[in-house]
Amino acid sequence: MEPIERISPPSREEFEARYVRRSRPVILRGAIDDWPARALWSRDYFARRFGDREVPVVRKKNGVLYDAKTGLHYERVRVADYVERLAAGEPIDLYMVFRVHEVMPELLDDIVRPSYCRDARWFRSRLWFAGPDTKGALHRDLPENLFAQIVGRKQFVLVDRRSSRMVHRHSVFSGVPNYSPVDAEAPDFERYPRFRGARLMSAELEPGDLLYIPSFWWHQAHSVDMSVSVNLWWVRGPMVAMARAAEVLMRLRDLQL
């Protein structure tokens, strides 16, 4: 598995030329050290500021986060109750995942949007708050993605978008059309033989790291410690219309992603 390059944050022009245009992932170390979130975000911060707020969480069923027909298993929980379970150190089958701009837009005050996506016409953000050893599903997204690691460590496996035929993706008519049934960390080659030929890249994110995940690259995350992360999605040019159309389609199909 090839390690993802780790560099100091480049200029916007260099980032665009060397990484975005070439669809090449990279880790930008220390890129978010000026974010208020780096000093503020913790279990106590979320409990103190948002304790009574009910937010979406994904519940694992039979060890997985989603059903191929119905999508992710969402329910709602008080932030204080979620934090209390994490603080107790007990195994937790919940994963707090929500669209920041819809559920807790106040968090955007703690983020400094990087120059790489500051002027994008389409921009969205999602929070990921998980206990230790929480594993996500292998999936891909249409937008460009900057994934910011705020608290704890997180491991990633990325699959080159040119290997899409090899990930045995779910049907476009399923409840998870952008997901793969393959566990990229421990693939079952008997069930998913094409995955043997996929080009894989790996990264372990430390607090303060910003991982660039290019459009349509498959990725799977695994929280090593208690982890708080936020990703910044953006598109420009003709892709704006595609992103907006995808949002409409999700609402029409009631996709739980």
Q: What is the mean pLDDT of each run of 10 residues along the chain (257 residues)?
A: 95 97 97 96 95 94 84 93 90 91 95 94 95 94 97 97 95 92 96 96 96 98 96 93 88 80
Beta strands in the chain (DSSP E): 2-3, 6-7, 26-28, 54-59, 66-67, 71-72, 74-78, 94-99, 122-130, 144-151, 154-159, 200-205, 210-213, 218-223, 227-235
Q: What global pTM score does this model have? A: 0.95
- CATH architecture of structural domain 2-253: Sandwich (2.60)
pLDDT, position 151: 97
Domain boundaries, the chain: 2-253
